[in-house]
Structure 1
Amino acid sequence: MNEVQKIVLAVDLGTTSTRTLAVSGQGEVLASHSVRYPLYTPKPGYAEQDPKQIYEACVTTIAAVMEQGDWQADDVLCVTFSSANHSLIAIDEAGQPLTPSITWADQRSAEQAKAMLEHGIGLDIYKRTGTPIHPMSPLVKLVWLKEKEPQLFAEAHQFIGIKEYIFLQLFGTPWMDYSIASATGMFNLEKLEWDKEAVDWLGLNMAQLPPLVPTTFKVTGLKEEIAEQMHLSTTTPFVLGAQDGVLANLGIGALEDGVVAVTIGTSSAVRACTNKPTFDEEGRLFCYALTEGYWLVGGSSNNGAIVAEWAAEQWFNGESLSEILPRLSEISPGADGLLFMPLLSGERAPFWDAEAKGVMFGLTLAHTKQHMMRAALEGVLFQLLAIVSMMEEKGTVAKQIRASGGFARSPLWCQMMADMLGVAVFVPDVVESSGLGAAQLGIYAMNNEQGKLCIWDNMSGTTYEPDSNNHRIYRQLLPTYLQLYYSLKDAMSHMTVLQQTTLSV
């Protein structure tokens, strides 16, 4: 099989499952297989995974895809990776985990994040690393470990993430790409190296962190027994790849000026491409690396489709979202003066407040459960509108939205997004945005990074145009929505203390 006909295996290490795609050189998904695994919550605020389960899912899905297409090792151009961000695993000298994989959703270090911001050290580190101070950040997780598990912190040989753990098993070295590193809170974006001041402040040495490489880094020498399990060869090239967020932009073609990617899965995110590191003086926006000349600025919200699923379960007696959503078009924009702050899991952007709580405001006897449901969906979008507004302050003006994630299957929600943001929303027919982005990055790496990043030109989809009157209504409501949060911020913090001590939740 010649180079053009070869497939790329794109492995997407997600929060709830690992999926591997076989992608042609023209961007067609030829086969796929996924394996789900649990998210463990042994204590309030904890959100962990078993790294060995994720490694096994990686091996299993690659082997299954190879079997689906009856491909041989020589048919594979490369294997490349997309991964969820912000995971942290302490390992011993033999490479064995001393902790579970502490995920982005873990909130145990909320007190440490709050203290870092109050003392000013957090904002100082952010201005070099581009990762907002929040419990999601491995930097803040390490502060928690140092304070709460000092013996483990001192004895750990290295601190790595889930993708690094996978490469440690496959090749014996836990390389970390610049993209994942730029979401740790310890990576200097200007120097493309570990930030010495942050590492020294933590009390670590550089050897306790993974070796850093570009996202296009290629490696061969897969362990022989693992190669056999995967139906690959020891000489099959592996491209390190990047985090799922930046690859989603690449996968849906959102790299041009003014083209903004929005993803709503369990959580949600807004990202736009820039040609250099970009910071926010207040530490509200992230900045992550992709490849040379490509940086992503934006914000992630904890609360996406999980809010819609929770609301449907509470208010609609088990009806599916596909049954509920069409009926919400009967409710006018703004839900007749009802606002719902969907902060059910704390919040990252735009508030960066792990103690944030959900709020229903404006409720009257005239409101129905359909009003409440529409307000919940609008609340998720108000969070995204607030992030887009912050990005506009930094000079990133959205001219088109490219949307992905499970919500993109709902015409109502897509139209609401267009109306909320005031720009056209394009939804590609292919929803595997991060996996496709990983495949594109793999091809770019195998071509020795010649020319620009590949954007496949065969992308079809649906465009939703905004209604200017509806947009005006949402823009008028946004200041009230934001004021509501800031008015209740202290009360939310006090309620957190009560929930953890006096009250039983």
Structure 2
Amino acid sequence: MAAYMIGTDIGTTSTKCVLYDLKGHVIAHADKGYPLYQDVPDMAEEDPEDIFNAVIDVLGQVIRKVKVKPEEIKGVSFSSAMHSLILMDENDEPLTRAITWADNRAAKYSEELKANGLGAEIYAKTGTPIHPMAPLSKMLWLKNEQPDLFKKAKKFIDLKTYVFFKLFGVYQMEYSIASATGMFNIFELKWEPQVLDLLDITTDRLPELVAPTDTIDHINDSYGKLLGIAQTTPFVFGASDGVLSNLGVNAIDPGVVAVTIGTSGAVRVVVDKPMVDPNGRLFCYALTKDKWVVGGPVNNGGIVFRWVRDQLFAPEKITAEQMQVSSYDILTQIAEKIPAGSDGLLFQPYLGGERAPIWNAYARGSFFGLTRQHTRAHMVRSALEGIVYNLYVVMLMIEGIAGKPKRIQATGGFARSALWRQMLADIFEQDVTIPESFESSCLGAATLGLYALGYIDELSEVKNMIGVTEVHHPNAENFEVYRELLPIWLRLSRTLEPEYKAIAEFQKKHTNPNK
């Protein structure tokens, strides 16, 4: 009889689902997107029902594609985006949409926490940098600015907890998602009393905590019948998308670093116990009780490349669409004609504020060094280099507490570009390995599910599932150029930082949100 494991990733822009056999081979996959609501400045929300419906849709698709029988599904395991917040009422209905990690409206309260020293104390216990992305900051904002709504909330939960509640009728959150809230003590594996006091709430208003490898069964009968999933099928709670992406690219051994560039980006390494950065710049999130992921997330990854395409290369985009070829491929071909370092044109990629390495929600982007000799081609290459410079600085921070990397595994949409992959190797001055694995967070979720259910003995068995790899070696001529430019790029960041808030406030004051 055939046997399958399903890995599902609840992402910021879409939910993806992959059906694997028990050896990790992809059998079927599906994805479904949903809108992001940005009705006012700094808002970034999603409808929880859109997310839940997407989960049901993609699960149903992969099961139907292969005509899987209920008894052939050995487990369903989940990955999810971090930092979301949903308020639930007494009738277990959402009081709010899901406030996502990209929502910046809590910036004022993050700044206050950092300024009064309380933020440093909380970070040292929770491992979540103080930033408006975190549910802690979002809840402070709601408590102060919408107190009636805050008091009305029966539960404060995240997207994955919402999905599991709809499927099983329980409010439970696993350690991995909890460790990204800013409210969970990563050393004691419990909700942090200091944070509960700050928010004036008790633990009964938060989900019950469970381990990422814990399981639940007896799915809601109507959904079970709709999907063709037996009531006895175990659902594994799983973990967050970031830590499972590490697992999905086989970056779980000490010193093996995962670099991800999708819409946003991240640099992460696995350690065997919780550890925090003395300067509060890096996160520490749970994968399992004895595997923790230290790293830094960046807001500005592929979304910057999209901005370059849409705003600087609109004619090329239209031409590409007419020719039915990738507009990004055309842009990278243009950028390839420009030498490493873009003839001294530097780009600060902070188009959407920034998390790591500067943790400044007010940060703004800029080109520096423009001359009459620079062209649009220089600007596209400079933008790509700026994204990688930013990730490299995050890597330097990680080296400070976890040591120098032994190997870099890279994944994300950028991996389709040979130019960008080589740029990563040149700026990091390291070999960069690109695994073939499809949807690393889904594979990570499935691998964790196989481990939780006893089908594999070690998480390291993922190495047999990621497929062939491609290695890029650093080009000595290029990294000499980048060595010269990087200190200038870093000094520029520090020089501009005092002005970020001023220009952000000007823009907020004078920008028409309806445009």
Scaled to the shorter chain, the TM-score interval is: over 0.9
Tell me what 1:75 maps to. 72
Tell me what 2:133 maps to. 136
1:302 to 1:315, Cα distance in 2 relative to 1, 3 A: same
Percent identical among aligned pairs is: 44
In 2, Cα distance between the equivalents of 1:92 and 1:216? 29
Q: Does the 8 Å CA contact 2:129/2:283 hold for their aligned counterparts? A: yes
In 2, Cα distance between the equivalents of 1:38 and 1:97? 17
Tell me what 1:212 maps to. 209
Q: Decide which of 474, 485, 496 is 2:493's aligned counterpart.
A: 485
- Extract unaligned runs of 5+ from structure 2: 318-326
Tell me what 1:406 maps to. 413
Partner of 2:507, secondary structure, is helix
Letter in 1 for 2:267: V
Q: CA deviation at 1:34?
A: 1.2
Deviations 1:408-437 (A, max 9, x none): 000000000000101111111223100000
Tell me what 1:263 maps to. 260
Tell me what 2:96 maps to. 99
Residue pairs, 1:334-353, within 5 angstroms: 334-353=341-360
Q: CA deviation at 1:395?
A: 3.2
Q: Does the 8 Å CA contact 1:405/1:431 hold for their aligned counterparts? A: no
Q: Does the 8 Å CA contact 1:264/1:406 hold for their aligned counterparts? A: yes
Letter in 2 for 1:98: L
Tell me what 1:372 maps to. 379
1:472 to 1:392, Cα distance in 2 relative to 1, 3 A: farther
Q: Decide which of 196, 199, 212 is 2:196's aligned counterpart.
A: 199
Q: Does the 8 Å CA contact 1:261/1:402 hold for their aligned counterparts? A: yes
Determine whether 1:145 maps to 2:142: yes
Determine whether 1:474 maps to 2:482: yes
Q: Decide which of 451, 455, 468 is 1:460's aligned counterpart.
A: 468
Deviates more, 1:371-380 or 1:486-495: 486-495
Partner of 2:50, secondary structure, is helix
Partner of 1:273, secondary structure, is strand
Q: CA deviation at 1:472?
A: 2.7
1:218 to 1:408, Cα distance in 2 relative to 1, 3 A: same
Tell me what 2:8 maps to. 11
1:364 to 1:77, Cα distance in 2 relative to 1, 3 A: same
Q: Decide which of 295, 301, 310 is 1:298's aligned counterpart.
A: 295
In 2, Cα distance between the equivalents of 1:73 and 1:156? 37
Partner of 1:201, secondary structure, is helix
Determine whether 1:496 maps to 2:493: no
In 1, Cα distance between the equivalents of 2:341 and 2:393? 16
In 1, Cα distance between the equivalents of 2:284 and 2:296? 9
Tell me what 2:436 maps to. 429
Tell me what 2:322 maps to. none
1:313 to 1:447, Cα distance in 2 relative to 1, 3 A: same
Tell me what 1:52 maps to. 49
Residue pairs, 1:218-233, within 5 angstroms: 218-233=215-230
Deviations 1:256-296 (A, max 9, x none): 12211011110000000100111111100000000122110
1:395 to 1:66, Cα distance in 2 relative to 1, 3 A: closer
In 1, Cα distance between the equivalents of 2:511 and 2:44? 22
In 2, Cα distance between the equivalents of 1:361 and 1:327? 20
Q: Does the 8 Å CA contact 1:440/1:453 hold for their aligned counterparts? A: no
1:362 to 1:497, Cα distance in 2 relative to 1, 3 A: same
Q: Does the 8 Å CA contact 1:125/1:185 hold for their aligned counterparts? A: yes
- Extract unaligned runs of 5+ from structure 1: none
Deviations 1:120-173 (A, max 9, x none): 111110000000011110000001100110001111001000000001101111
How many residue pairs align between the two structures? 502
Partner of 2:464, secondary structure, is coil
Tell me what 1:323 maps to. 330
Partner of 1:272, secondary structure, is strand
Partner of 2:53, secondary structure, is helix
Q: CA deviation at 1:388?
A: 0.4
Tell me what 2:114 maps to. 117
Residue pairs, 1:432-447, within 5 angstroms: 432-447=439-454
Q: Does the 8 Å CA contact 2:22/2:455 hold for their aligned counterparts? A: no
In 2, Cα distance between the equivalents of 1:462 and 1:453? 19
Deviates more, 1:412-421 or 1:107-116: 107-116
In 1, Cα distance between the equivalents of 2:495 and 2:86? 38
Q: Decide which of 343, 357, 361 is 1:354's aligned counterpart.
A: 361
Q: Decide which of 375, 390, 398 is 1:383's aligned counterpart.
A: 390
Partner of 1:30, secondary structure, is strand
Tell me what 1:420 maps to. 427
In 1, Cα distance between the equivalents of 2:511 and 2:97? 29
Tell me what 2:276 maps to. 279
In 1, Cα distance between the equivalents of 2:460 and 2:195? 32
1:41 to 1:503, Cα distance in 2 relative to 1, 3 A: closer
Partner of 1:455, secondary structure, is helix
Q: CA deviation at 1:327?
A: 2.6
Q: Does the 8 Å CA contact 2:8/2:16 hold for their aligned counterparts? A: yes
Q: Does the 8 Å CA contact 1:27/1:456 hold for their aligned counterparts? A: no
Letter in 1 for 2:216: V
Q: CA deviation at 1:93?
A: 2.0
Q: Does the 8 Å CA contact 2:75/2:235 hold for their aligned counterparts? A: yes
In 1, Cα distance between the equivalents of 2:455 and 2:371? 62
Q: CA deviation at 1:326?
A: 2.0
Q: CA deviation at 1:446?
A: 0.3
In 2, Cα distance between the equivalents of 1:124 and 1:359? 34
Residue pairs, 1:307-322, within 5 angstroms: 307-316=304-313, 317-319=315-317, 320-322=327-329
Tell me what 2:163 maps to. 166
Q: Does the 8 Å CA contact 2:250/2:460 hold for their aligned counterparts? A: no
Partner of 1:356, secondary structure, is coil
1:434 to 1:131, Cα distance in 2 relative to 1, 3 A: same
